[in-house]
Amino acid sequence: MVLNNALNPIIVKFFYPLVIITMPSFDIISEFDKHEIKNAIDQANKEVTTRFDFKGTDSSFELTDDKLIMTSGSTFQLQQMFSIACSKLSRRGVDIACMEVGDPKPGGKTVRQEITLKQGLDSALAKKIVKLIKDKKLKVQAAIQGDQVRVTGKNRDDLQSVIKMLREEKLEMPLQFENFRD
């Protein structure tokens, strides 16, 4: 079929549908559910206010965007509060490996301790993950994309072996695997 255009004659043929072949892939991330952390800290605050050994100490947890601040009368009570927070977080499904504990800082009658909640893969950890994947010499490609690592391969089994290998490694951050596409 020929279409005539005054400026440019175009010959139109039958087009075949465009087929895009995608390779299986998944993303490696390190995140936590902020709502679950808020619920766990609310439970920990409730436990601290009702426990007998914390009566009259003005012990409390305060949660900001990425910091948990514990306030109490002594460092011993801060240690107890930390164990309470860890138990509440783990019951809620939050991996406590995402916490970076600071030193206790005395200030007047109270002692404060900051716990930083880390989220996302920093560049050093992302490079380490890519290096681990390349060292195993699997038939996959790993690419750093911001604060996550995308792993692609021809075979689903290769991707699953990468997930298994990374779960066995002892990395400083908890990892989640999402967006598994076939």
pTM over 0.85: no
Over residues 67-118, the pLDDT tens digits come to: 999 999 889 999 999 999 999 999 988 888 888 999 999 988 899 999 999 8
Over residues 160-181, the pLDDT tens digits come to: 888 888 888 888 888 888 877 7
Residue 169: which residues within 8 A CB-CB, separation 6 or more? 132
Q: E strand or H helix at 134, and its extent?
A: helix 123-135
C-alpha 95/C-alpha 93 separation (Å) is 6
Structure tokens at 41: 């800290």
Most confident of 12-16, 30-34, 87-91, 118-122: 87-91
